[in-house]
Amino acid sequence: MADPPPARLPLANGGSMPVVGYGLYQMDEEEAERSTAVALSCGYRHLDSASFYGNEAGVGRAIAASSIPREELFIASKVWTDCIGLGAHAVRHSVEVSLERLQVDFLDLVYVHWPVPGKHVEAYKALEALVAEGKARGIGLSNYRVADYEELVASGITLAPLVNQIEVNPFLYRRDAIDFFQDKGMAIVGYKPLLRGKAVTDATAIEVARKHNVTPAQVLLRWGIQHKFAVLPKSSQAERIDSNLHLFHFHLDDGDMATLDSLTTKDSLANFEAHFTKRSVADPSCPTLGDYAPVPGGGGGAEEAAVAAAQSGR
């Protein structure tokens, strides 16, 4: 018997997203094109992209070749930290380049990729303008902690964020933070749900998988869905791409869920905090930035000087 259609997660703007998305991190352009084509043929309709991934042109070619109606797709992208740091014009440029490369007229969701200190609020407000222009249908946060969210809301934004995309899996289940964002009406989208493949060899995941006659990957993804997260599995192997979408023919019982919840340790939480600090303060540049030209008269001399320095490698 075929699986029922993948469930959708409601969003606060009245829309919804498929709970299983296809993650596109760490693929070159050709691999992204090939793998996206496979994912779309398997039934994925949620594509999670980002300017920093450097492969959006390949994703766009696969979307165009699929002939799937645009309204059936949920396409997300993200603005990287260097463009966030350079201000509103660079944020706008990043989104416009993503639209061009993806060969679409609008994004269903556009994320602030990281809450760059002192800069993420301006970036968010620039995205609000793009929503008003119809270039995006909603705004998401990525890697935001509670304090970052509270700073954003206190700034007087006009559109509430729909989503917080964070790393979440049974080995990094930040229950209090997740409960906070869900209580605010935000959907949680989990990246690295399989720990880049490492989690599928965990003895607990294997044991639960045997109980349900499914794969460990399916158990880990189903765990996220039953916590009401959207999940973003990533694979370039056709068989795994397909099986990662088939998550609705079994159910984890309360004991399974509690066992999987318990896999998060104090060490994993501490490692997350160290990673967050490193990534939010010092990041590599985004492939989009090389295309950026300051708008004459826009952003002021300081911003234009910063752009020139970034483009020259200083």
128, with CB counted inside 10 A (0-12, 13-18, 19+), is middle
The pLDDT-based confidence of 17 (bands split at 50, 70, 90) is very high
pLDDT digits (tens, 9 = 90+) for 199-210: 889 999 999 999
Contacts of 143 (CB under 8 A, 6+ apart): 113, 114, 115, 165, 166, 167, 276, 279, 280
From the list 22, 44, 53, 124, the catalytic residue is 53
**Domains of the chain from N-terminus onward:** 8-309 (3.20.20.100)
State the pTM of this model.
0.87
Active-site annotation holds for 53: yes
Share of the chain above pLDDT 90, in %: 79
Per-residue pLDDT, averaged over 173-196, amounts to: 95
The per-residue pLDDT for range 274-309, each reduced to its tens digit, is 776 666 655 556 555 555 554 434 443 333 333 333
The whole-angstrom distance between residue 4's C-alpha and the CA centroid of its chain comes to 24
pLDDT of residue 237: 95
- What is the model's pLDDT at position 300? 39
pLDDT for 143 equals 94
Angle 226-230-234 from CA coordinates, rounded to 5°: 115
Q: What is the pLDDT of residue 306?
A: 36
113 annotated as belonging to a binding site for a ligand: yes
